[in-house]
Amino acid sequence: MFDTEFWTDKKVLVIGGGGFIGSHTVDSLVELNSDVSIVDDFSTGKRSNCNSDAKLFEIDAATDALAGVFSTVKPEVVMTFGSVVDIPVAIKNPLLTCKGITITVNTLKNAVKHNVDKVLYASSGFIYGNTDIMPISENQPTKPLNPYNIAKATGEHYLSFFNRHYKLPCIALRYAPTYGPRRSIGPINDYIRSILKGIRSEIYGHKTRDYIYVEDVVSANILSIEKSTSNYNVFNIGTGVEIELDKIYKTIAQLLDSPDNKPIYCPSKSSEVERFVLNICKAKKELGFQSNISMEVGLQKTINWMKIYE
């Protein structure tokens, strides 16, 4: 599926490589025989997530220490996943999201200085906010509803600036909500946790989502570096399938042999998107991307992991 010759001995620096998506991406890059380095201060990521075959630099990517890592590693490709990922925390303390912006700018500044071939930025499909046009395509305006997604959208503006002003090749991937092993927050994890304990979980409003399993997101990360020919590009990464949260809840309950466990329905929150499904035609056409893990298979993999590690 991937171009192994392209990735063999490729020097790749992964900012936030101890986090959820970052660590899975590192694992795949190691399997492709890339020369992988991780930057993480473990404020949200975990050391146990880090692949032992990757070099580890335990520093704060928002500081000048990052320049030393660039000088040592001399990366050809940089992938940056560094941000505050807990939306309720970001809403309570919006200042925390500013660090993610600082990490992005610091990464881009060093990428220019060290003539990096390509930068991948982990963005979010939720930056579109609420829209009546479904599925959501890349040319629709962004209207982020909470500090986390405001920061993600701001990061994209910085990418665009560094590309225009310094000709730095950049890719922004707008992920659908991603789930799977090593993720500890989010509705799917909450539902699994609650049902395992025999208690009911809450669903706010009548939401739909386009959930994608982490393995498919990793494929998109790798393909976007390989296949994107534009000097600046933005891609939606999801499944293109819209599903109700209460249907996901019921599927989890069935997989856990608790079909009688029903969710508690609560009013919607103003900081959350109601309907959400991404148009992924561009990624399919230009990257050859498609999601391969079904919701039921992905949920079972996630349940199996949580039973062992939580």
Segment holding 222, helix H or strand E: helix 214-227
What are 97-146's pLDDT values in tens digits?
999 999 999 999 999 999 999 999 999 999 999 999 999 999 999 999 99
For residue 204, the model assigns a pLDDT of 93
Is the pLDDT score of 84 beyond 80? no
For helices 97-113 and 147-166, the axis angle rounded to 10 degrees is: 20
pLDDT in tens, 238-247: 999 999 999 9
Report the interhelical angle of 20-31 vs 214-227 (nearest 10°): 60
Residue 66's nearest CA partner among 92, 105, 93, 36 is 105
270 — pLDDT class (breaks 50, 70, 90): confident
Mean pLDDT of the chain: 96
Average pLDDT over residues 26-40: 98
The predicted pLDDT at position 266 comes to: 95
Q: Please determine, for residue 87, whether its predicted confidence score (pLDDT) is greater than 90.
A: no
Does pTM surpass 0.85?
A: yes
Nearby residues of 71 by Cβ (< 8 Å), 6 or more positions away:
114
Residue 82 confidence (pLDDT)? 84
Write the pLDDT tens digit of every residue in 189-212: 999 999 999 999 999 999 999 999
Please tell us whether the domain made up of 4-180+212-239+277-293 is placed in CATH 3.10.129.10.
no
pLDDT at 212: 98
Residue ranges of domains in the chain: 4-180+212-239+277-293
Q: pLDDT tier at 89 (50, 70, 90 boundaries)?
A: confident
* Mean pLDDT across 262-276: 93
